[in-house]
Amino acid sequence: MTDFWAPLRTSTQARIGLGRAGDGLPTRSVLEFRAAHAAARDAVHQPLDVEVFAKEVESLGLGAPAVVRSQVADRGEYLRRPDLGRVPASLEDVAKADADVGVVLADGLSPRALHDHGAALLGAVAQAVKGVYTIAPPVIATSARVALGDHIGAALGAEILIVLIGERPGLSVADSLGIYLTYQPRPGRADSERNCISNIHPPDGLGYTEAARIVKGLIGGARELGRSGVDLKDTSRLELTGTTAVERG
């Protein structure tokens, strides 16, 4: 019998056309669902090996990374108290840098995503902006929410801050990475003042090179516009035809 759903499954990771066995799902679908759920839970709770990851980041040649931890005590508190994940325990290891762009590599809700994609994505961003913008030595942030980057960006004195952070795992993807870009970061910035590039997890999601190209366009647009967020639109695809990455709201 021809499987009607087979060609559609090649274009999506969503669970479609699972079929049924009696009143329930086929055993194979049930087991696949449970395996995906277990992978998502592991992605949330498995901590980042900071020492190993720091060596990988340092090998990019952007400088030895500083390490910052938020004010949460453990993973359980991280999940219950998002407010504490937005505030650093200390910034004494973050040095002011004379650079256009600051970078924070944050574990977020999927340390696995940062481990799998963080260094490679940062390398692609560094290559994309090479000779155009300077990058401060990276900062690794643990038990971190996006807004923790505002404190770090202010301490760095960066004009633009990009936060590479593990996204909330789903039942189809447990290692997706996102990028949040903020112009002139400082504590108190609203989420509406950030731009987000999400779903970065090659080969199924957005690739490193494409994500880096979008970041470069947004950096240029933010500097030209003097702000980021809802007023700054990603028109990177139009850049291929010579259109600017900035729309004035």
Query: What strand order describes the sheet that includes 66-69?
Result: 66-69, 139-142, 101-106, 160-166, 177-183, 194-200
For the annotated binding site, the residues are 146, 167, 196
Query: Would you give the DSSP letter of residue 12?
Result: -
Residue 134 domain-assigned (yes or no) = yes
Q: Mean of the pLDDT values across residues 183-199?
A: 96
- For residue 243, pLDDT over 60 is answered with no
The length of the chain is 249
In a domain, 132, yes or no: yes
Cα dist. 110→30, 39, 241 in Å?
A: 24, 11, 36
14 occurs within a structural domain: no
Domain-embedded: residue 13? no
Question: What's the pLDDT score for residue 13?
Answer: 80
Joined together, the tokens standing for residue 55 give 């060596």
Mean pLDDT of 222-249: 73
The domain in which residue 218 lies consists of: 63-229
In a domain, 166, yes or no: yes
- Is residue 206 within 8 A of residue 167, CB to CB? The reply is no
Listed in order, strand segments (DSSP E) in 37-134 are 66-69, 101-106
The answer to the question of residue 125 being in a domain is yes
Q: Is residue 27 part of a domain?
A: no
Which of 160, 178, 164 lies closest to 222 in space, CA to CA?
160
Q: What is the CATH number of the domain that holds 190?
A: 3.40.50.11240
Report, as an integer, the average pLDDT of 3-8: 87
Known binding-site positions for adenosylcob(III)alamin: 146, 167, 196
Residue 100 maps to a domain? yes
* Domain count within the chain: 1
